[in-house]
Amino acid sequence: NRKPRVNPIETILGLLRTAGQGKYGETDVTQLEHALQCATLAEQAGAAPALVAAALLHDIGHLANPEDYPALLRDEDGRHEDTGAALLAQWFGPEVSEPVRLHVPAKRYLAAAEPGYAALLSEASVTSLRLQGGPFDADEARAFLALPDAADAVRLRRWDDRAKVAGAPTPDLDHFVNALRGSLVVGRD
């Protein structure tokens, strides 16, 4: 009995197209719109295709884990960054999965390192920051900055923070297929 081969691109696009229709926190955008806005900001900033893919997929853990939303209702952190990174690491290298895994620590870093950063966060991001451990202390911030993918995670975090605008124009999901396909390390078509 051979298991049917999974097409990573179709799996990811299907998840974004279906589960991505739900609202992104308390914003007026859907999860899919948030993902598209984040990837568009990355592309406009001239990011490498792998970082554009990471920007598109940074919240895939929210969509892939049925326990994510119930955890939030229980006032718990669903650790979507770990769920998403583990899912993506099946098919992509660390240039995609690590910024996804580190985009929450990047928020904790920025909240510690930049005066006024936390005051600019949405209400939902303030709540999640609390659930995720709050701003880093000095030792945690130094340890974060020493990570190989910390700089990309901070860039991703900044796009994430800005990608919550109702009606913002973006390309459609198919526009980003080449960034996804070019970043695959397993399961290439």
pLDDT tens per residue across span 149-179: 999 999 999 999 999 999 999 999 999 999 9
The answer to whether 145 and 123 are in contact (CB under 8 A) is: no
The pLDDT of residue 3 is: 62
Work out the pLDDT band at 189, boundaries 50, 70, 90: very low
Mean pLDDT of the chain: 93
Report angle CA 119, 121, 126 to the nearest 5 degrees. Answer: 90
Mean pLDDT across 25-29: 81
Residue 45 or residue 6, greater confidence? 45
Work out the pLDDT band at 33, boundaries 50, 70, 90: very high
The pTM score is: 0.93
The pLDDT of residue 103 is: 98
The pLDDT of residue 1 is: 61
The pLDDT of residue 162 is: 95
Tokens 């914003």 -> residue = 27
Written as one letter, the residue type at 169 is P
CA dihedral sign of residues 41, 188, 68, 105: negative
The answer to whether 84 and 100 are in contact (CB under 8 A) is: yes
Six token digits for residue 158? 């900044």
DSSP string, 130-149: HHTT-S--HHHHHHHHTSTT
